[in-house]
């Protein structure tokens, strides 16, 4: 079963897979993705309505005090660092890009708190540019299904997926992998009885690899 066939099966299970971060503009999407680091989309969606009502664009956000931004997002993890990041990126957008969210990797990643994953999401969702963001769900599913090796970096996983999946399926494929990892092939207690990929799943080998690495790391520290 190749990568495109895997996507076909995922889309049968999750035909409505899409970005779950609530937003109305590229700026709001950018902020939401930055806020989602190490936090669930559901948690982000609980704080962004009030945040975006107060600061709907980079012009208004850039004038805020970091403490004011913190008050809106303090229910999510790492909120102090994230408040500083979205304030700084808003100021950068105003000063360098006339308040417009750029679409190139270089320009997006020049903004505070924006890494390759965030840049990929914004390029894909806001601008419909073929991109394949790799988050924890995509990384886990890719390795369990043998589309990447256990020790592959996030960048390597992205490279392999983009090589194996048709370019015109990258944007939707990202959402397919996320939904599959978020709602079926979860980190703990995956629903293997529902999975169409049992015959190719490498979860046991991947778990053994992680245990071996954990033991080696513990011995090294000891």
Residue 161 to residues 37, 68, 97, 177, 222: CA-CA distances in angstroms? Answer: 22, 40, 31, 11, 37
- Record the tokens describing residue 132, joined without a space: 């394949």
The catalytically annotated residue of 117, 143, 160, 176 is 117
Contact 84, 67 (CB under 8 A): no
Asked if 162 is an active-site residue, the reply is no
Indicate which residue of 82, 135, 143, 160 is catalytic: 135
DSSP H/E element including 175: helix 170-183
Structure tokens at 64: 């805020």
Rounded-to-integer distance, Cα 92 and Cα 99, Å: 8
Active site residue 117: yes
Q: Which token pair is 11?
A: 């889309």
d(CA 26, CA 162): 24
Closest-CA residue to 22 (of 34, 30, 32):
32
Handedness of CA 5, 124, 70, 56 (dihedral sign): negative
Residues 6+ apart with CB under 8 A from 207: none
Residues tagged active-site? 117, 135
């Amino acid at each position: 079963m190749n990568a495109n066939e895997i996507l076909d099966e995922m889309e049968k299970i999750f035909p409505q897979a899409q970005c779950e971060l609530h937003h109305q503009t590229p700026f709001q999407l950018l902020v939401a993705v930055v806020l989602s680091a190490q936090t669930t989309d559901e948690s982000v969606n609980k704080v962004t309505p009030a945040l975006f009502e107060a600061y709907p664009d980079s012009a208004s956000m850039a004038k805020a005090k970091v403490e004011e931004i913190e008050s809106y997002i303090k229910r999510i993890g790492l909120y102090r660092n994230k408040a500083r990041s979205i304030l700084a990126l808003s100021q950068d957008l105003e000063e360098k890009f006339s308040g417009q969210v750029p679409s190139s990797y270089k320009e997006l990643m020049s903004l505070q708190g924006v890494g390759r994953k965030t840049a990929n999401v914004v390029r894909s969702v806001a601008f419909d540019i073929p991109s394949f963001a790799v988050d924890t769900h995509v990384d886990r599913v890719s390795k369990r299904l043998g589309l990447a090796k256990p020790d592959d970096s996030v960048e390597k996983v992205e490279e392999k997926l983009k090589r194996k999946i048709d370019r015109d399926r990258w944007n939707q494929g990202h959402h397919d992998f996320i939904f599959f990892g978020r709602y079926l092939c979860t980190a703990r207690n995956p629903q293997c009885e529902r999975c169409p990929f049992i015959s190719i799943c490498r979860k046991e080998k991947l778990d053994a690899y992680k245990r071996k690495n954990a033991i080696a790391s513990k011995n090294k520290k000891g």
